[in-house]
Structure 1
């Protein structure tokens, strides 16, 4: 007898079932600090100021039909689950916050000095009990690797992430520019018993060899084209339709990688909107003949399946 496990997307507004959600943006940022973690004033900001700047950006995508957003700011680049929660409550939009850590040199000293076992326990605790004292349960694991190859420290974090994923079913998304490096990361994950379908190759579009996009999907991984609104629409249209033509539809994620409040900038800077996917690219894809079912698969079903866990 086959047992069907209910899966949930773990958000700032609690766990959400598939039927509670529609369109999900799988790679955006509400708050980011790209200064290194020991920089003066790192990740510090007035919560109300962030809400004032970012709430209109969230309201704009809600008006388009977006029902949830995945925050991709992790430890090392200014993660603030408490701020994500405040923005989420102000706009009534669920936000999915990660555990994990970014790549070198954005790795805090305590992470660099921790054992794999300690890092694993930390990630599991955030995925099950919550992030610090925010009351937010982490929904997924965000890591990264150097552009030219994964370093020993990044590999240690990845192995810990793999073990945390096995325990919690949380997906691991990695900022990885080269497809070859993403394949090496999959080797590490699988050696730790983590299934390839719990891995998202973030920034897949940066890999120019489309054969590696297909190779990642053949292994079961998710690929993410997350430069919508930053690349020319004709380039995006060609990339997405090619992926659909080669039957990668059920493993494809689309997003902007935009936002955000930057505490290093006066007033948090000028955020870039998350509206281009639905306002520009989706209509172009429809004109190009992409059917409604495929578009719903990519923008609704895929993000939920990738980020939800049992």
Structure 2
């Protein structure tokens, strides 16, 4: 082989190695594949399975100025709550969105322990809970602007919550159910929008009625965030017309206090029959692909002896699904609500206008 031919061959080999190395780097980038962020690290959305998108393991109502990990014993919480999680697992549940926010009892290490013990994925959150007149917001909140507030939540996503290394998989915020948002709550939703555009974390906002839901969606639009980045939490407190309108705009409708209530009439508001009818109406409007459901159940309460009573995560399977099937819902449609919709909602993806 001539020297020039050998040099040409070396150049070709180096080019091939460069291309292969470049492809490997690109495919290994965290944002090059779809994923959700569990307390055990990133996971494929396809492995989420049946998902309960709004539940609680522990909630501490004492207030932001008094709460802390010292208020509960993790081993005691695990002992009491683990059987409830395992009962949900027996119904097919593979993933639980744990919606307890910071300063209300969020405990990533507790969730990781329960996840490892149960085999159920848990996804925790970042964000601030402004409802109940800001009882669960730390004092430094008032001196921060929206950009600085968003920076706190972005940092938790980038490096983990405190020193745990556990990263949030969504943004959980809350506003008062008023006709007009307060200045503080406008700052919270603005910060959530800014954080979403940096992280791709979906925004789940404890909201309730129509007016605060639409005001939040409008604020997000002004930040350049598409409504598909917004979950209207407790949307059952809104009107059917409001649910339909927001879903048509792209928002997610979270019907999330689904429990069997033996003390009310079958068709009364928030009964199993009522939820089945609300879901059927959304289906009739062609919006089943925007519906999320859960129990908003649990939880260990440090203020109560032994943590109080833990309400389970199985009423959807025991009561709601039979009610939906009685209305003609197919297995594919139920799978749409419990598997496909949460998978699409919670995958980490920046949703710009």
Q: TM-score range by the shorter chain?
A: over 0.9
Aligned in 2, Cα 1:293/1:41: closer, same or farther, shift over 3 Å? closer
Give the conservation status (yes or no) of the 8 Å contact 2:190–2:223. yes
Runs ≥4 in structure 1, deviation > 4 angstroms?
40-43
For residues 234 and 316 of structure 2, what CA distance do their matches in structure 1 show?
Answer: 16
CA contact (8 A) 1:33 1:43 kept: no
Pair 1:156 & 2:187 matched: yes
**Is there any run of 5+ residues in structure 2 with no aligned partner, and where?**
1-30, 261-269
Structure 1 pair 212/70, CA: closer, same or farther in 2 (3 Å)? same
**Residues 6 and 261 (structure 1 numbering): CA distance in 2 closer, same or farther, change over 3 Å?**
same
Computing the radius of gyration over CA atoms, which structure comes out larger, 1 or 2? 2
Q: TM-score under structure 1 normalisation? A: 0.94
Q: In 1, distance between residues paired with 2:327 and 2:249?
A: 29
What is residue 324 of structure 2 aligned with on the other side? 285
Residue 199 of structure 2 is matched in structure 1 by 168
- How many residue pairs get aligned? The number is 306
SS in 1 for 2:177: coil
Root mean square deviation, CA, Å: 1.6
d(CA) in 2 for partners of 1:106, 1:19:
34
SS state of the match for residue 71, structure 2?
A: coil
1:1-310 matches, cutoff 5 A: 6-39=33-66, 44-103=71-130, 104-148=134-178, 149-207=180-238, 209-229=239-259, 231-310=270-349
Q: What whole-Å deviation, never above 9, does each CA across 1:51-103 have from its counterpart, x for those lacking one?
A: 00110111011111111000111123221112212221221211110100101
Q: Deviations over 1:116-155 (max 9, x none)?
A: 2221111111122211112211000011111113211111
Please give the per-residue CA displacement for 1:264-306, whole angstroms capped at 9, x wherever unaligned: 1111111100001112211221122111111111100101111
The 3 A distance-change label for structure 1 pair 30 and 147 is same
Q: SS at 1:119's partner residue?
A: helix
Unaligned runs of 5+ in 1: none
- Name whichever structure is richer in helix by fraction: 2
